[in-house]
Every structure is written in structure tokens, then in C-alpha cells.
Amino acid sequence: MAGSAIVLGVGAERGLGAAIARRFAAEGLHTIVSGRTKDKLDAVVESIAADGGSAEALAGDATDAGDIAALLDHAAAQGAIDAVIYNVGNNAIIPFAELTSEQFEQFWRVCCLGGMLTAKAAMPILAEQGHGSMLFTGASASLRGRPAFAHFAAAKAGLRMLAQSLAREYGPEGVHVGHVVVDGVIDGEMVRSRFGEYLEQLGEDGSLDPDAIAENFWHLHSQHRSAWTHEIDLRPFKENW
């Protein structure tokens, strides 16, 4: 029987976290969505239920070890955990001359520390099961630092190294650890509401469709263990890279 999938970093219905949740729920997994805004989580759960899927919402802070432990304990009490997806992150343009230590630490806490806390709670469960996936959402900044993004690049690069270390340590235990580099602008609600003109300039399929990204998360999760992929990079066909 299918178990559960936990998706952290779920916000608006047209967002990557929600798209991942819908994709895993469509395969029969009970999907637990987590994020900071309960109203948004409830809307995602309702949309999954309307499509015939099973889901529930648990609001929490990904940088709070207690919240993460409660989330994993709740899922484990219901049965096997098939997948844990860490999709938590934020971004902002901040020139280094204006960057404060508090801002740097906050980005690191959200984009990197939260991934460590989630893995700390999830890995013992997945290893004891002998199966399951732990997938992380990366970004262009996981691979390269650009002007005015030192804070983001440092955090996302750290998350990537965390994922690599976990993959090497827990792969032999049957846990599939994957890292998905999203190299480009996601056509989600946040970008549409703030940078709609920019999306129009990119043109048709010039930004990443959340459902198309989610399909790749499912592909990673469903790979046969004799041919696992650790890292994939996704970008629009016209992206300059």
C-alpha cells in the first residue's frame, strides 16, 4: 500500500510546493502539506481532495526543530513515509554592501538549516524502513554565486552539499536522496503577482511551469534503485545558461 508524502514549503495553489503535493497525491499517496500559512495550506488540501486525492495540512516553521519533529512523528504514526520533499526557500536582491549579518543568517536558516533539521528527523525513519525518498529543491544559486545574491548562493550551495553528503551516507540504507536544480523563473503566483511584465517578456514557455517541475520530482522518487539519479537540473528551453 502507498504510504505518505510530506511536502514542506507549500504556499499558494499555483506554486511549486502545491504542484509537488498534487503530483504525489495523484499517485495515491496521502500527502501532508506544511508551510507557514494555514489558509493557503487548506486551499491546497481542498484542491487535492476535489481531484480525488488524500491530503492534510500541518502548519509549521521549517527552522523550528520542534515543529519538524512533530510533523515527522505525525506522519510516521500513520504508516510508512514514502517521500519527504524540502521545498522551503526565499530570495531577494540584496547588494553585498547592504547585506546585514542578520539577513545572511535568516536566509541560511530557511534555505539550509531547515533542510538539515528536516533530514535529521526524517533520515532515521526512512533508513529504518529501508526505503523512501528525501528530495530537495535547489536553484541556480546552488551552482553559482551572482552579484547581489551572496546570501542566497551561500545558503543554497550549503543545502546542495548537505544533499550530497546525505545521499552518500544513506543511499546504502535504501534511502534515495535527490537534489533538483531549478534554473530559471518559476511561473507561480508569487512571480505573477510581483513581476508579471517580466514573465510576459520571457514569452511562451520561457519560465518553468510548476507542474512540469513536479513531474520531475515524481520521476526521481519513482526511479528503480538500480539506477538512481542524485541531481537533475531543469530550465526553460530558451534559458541562457
Query: What digits encode the pLDDT tens for the residues 116-129?
Result: 999 999 999 999 99
b/e sequence 209-236, b meaning 16+ C-beta within 10 Å: bbeebbebbbebbeeeeeeeeebebbbb
How many Å apart are CA 70 and CA 144, to the nearest integer?
34
Please indicate, yes or no, if residue 120 is contained in any of the structural domains.
yes
Please indicate, yes or no, if residue 181 is contained in any of the structural domains.
yes
- What is residue 134's predicted lDDT score, i.e. its pLDDT? 98
Query: What digits encode the pLDDT tens for the residues 63-79?
Result: 999 999 999 999 999 99
Please indicate, yes or no, if residue 133 is contained in any of the structural domains.
yes
Q: What domain range includes position 67?
A: 4-234
- What is residue 194's predicted lDDT score, i.e. its pLDDT? 76
Please indicate, yes or no, if residue 72 is contained in any of the structural domains.
yes
Query: What is the mean pLDDT for each group of 10 consecutive residues in the chain (241 residues)?
Result: 91 95 97 96 97 97 97 97 96 97 98 98 98 98 97 98 98 98 89 78 91 98 98 95 86
Please indicate, yes or no, if residue 239 is contained in any of the structural domains.
no
CATH number, domain with residue 84: 3.40.50.720
- What is residue 1's predicted lDDT score, i.e. its pLDDT? 54
- What is residue 197's predicted lDDT score, i.e. its pLDDT? 81
Please indicate, yes or no, if residue 151 is contained in any of the structural domains.
yes
pTM of the full predicted structure?
Answer: 0.95
Please state the domain count of the chain.
Answer: 1
- What is residue 191's predicted lDDT score, i.e. its pLDDT? 78
Please indicate, yes or no, if residue 241 is contained in any of the structural domains.
no
Please indicate, yes or no, if residue 240 is contained in any of the structural domains.
no
